[in-house]
Each structure stands twice: as structure tokens, then as C-alpha cells.
């Protein structure tokens, strides 16, 4: 599996896609409720599997961002300490 670079814009784009999906799902729920429709039969195994995998992927992404933050803050502090020392 190839690692793909995700910057803030790419993460935003992905989050907007997920929000669009959530919006469509909410619309289905609201229509079903308003129209008092009976339950519909859907195959959900793949969708639930995808959501579970996406949650794992998101945890990995959060860990990577937190590691980058720590690394960046450490480098910034090192530069500040180095420039603050009298020579």
C-alpha cells in the first residue's frame, strides 16, 4: 500500500466528501421519518466495514499529525534556544 501525502487542503476535501455522505444519509432518515415509511432492507456489512476501517485510518492520521506537531515544536524550541544563547 502506497502512502499518499495529505496536506490541509486535501484533508478538507476528504472531510467535505464525508460530510456530503452524512448529509445524504440524514436526508434519507428525515424523509423516512416524515413519510412514516416502514424500515428498508439494506446490505450494510460492507458499509459498516468501511466505516470501521475509516475510523482506524483516522486514528493513524491523528497520530501522524500529533507526531508532526511534536517534531515541529521541538525543532522550533531548538532554534529559539540556539538563537537565544550568547556566543
CB 32 within 8 A of CB 40: yes
pLDDT over threshold 90, residue 79: no
Domain match, 84 and 46 both: yes
pLDDT of residue 45: 97
Taking the mean position of all CA atoms in its chain, how far away is CA 73? 22
pLDDT of residue 11: 97
CB 58 within 8 A of CB 14: no
pLDDT over threshold 70, residue 86: no
Q: pTM of the predicted model, to two decimals?
A: 0.78
Structural domain that includes position 66? 42-87
Domain match, 48 and 85 both: yes
Domain match, 18 and 36 both: yes
Domain match, 49 and 15 both: no
Q: What is the pLDDT of residues 19-55, one digit of tens each?
A: 999 999 999 999 999 999 999 999 999 999 999 999 9
Domain match, 80 and 52 both: yes
State the Cα torsion 67-19-47-28 to the nearest 10°. Answer: 160
Amino acid at each position: 500500500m502506497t502512502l499518499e501525502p495529505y496536506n490541509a487542503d486535501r484533508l478538507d476535501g476528504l472531510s467535505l466528501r464525508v460530510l456530503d455522505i452524512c448529509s445524504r444519509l440524514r436526508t434519507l432518515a428525515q424523509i423516512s421519518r416524515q413519510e412514516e415509511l416502514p424500515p428498508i432492507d439494506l446490505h450494510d456489512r460492507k458499509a459498516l466495514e468501511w466505516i470501521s476501517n475509516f475510523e482506524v485510518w483516522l486514528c493513524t492520521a491523528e497520530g501522524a499529525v500529533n507526531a508532526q506537531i511534536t517534531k515541529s515544536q521541538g525543532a522550533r524550541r531548538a532554534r529559539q534556544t540556539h538563537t537565544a544563547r550568547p556566543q
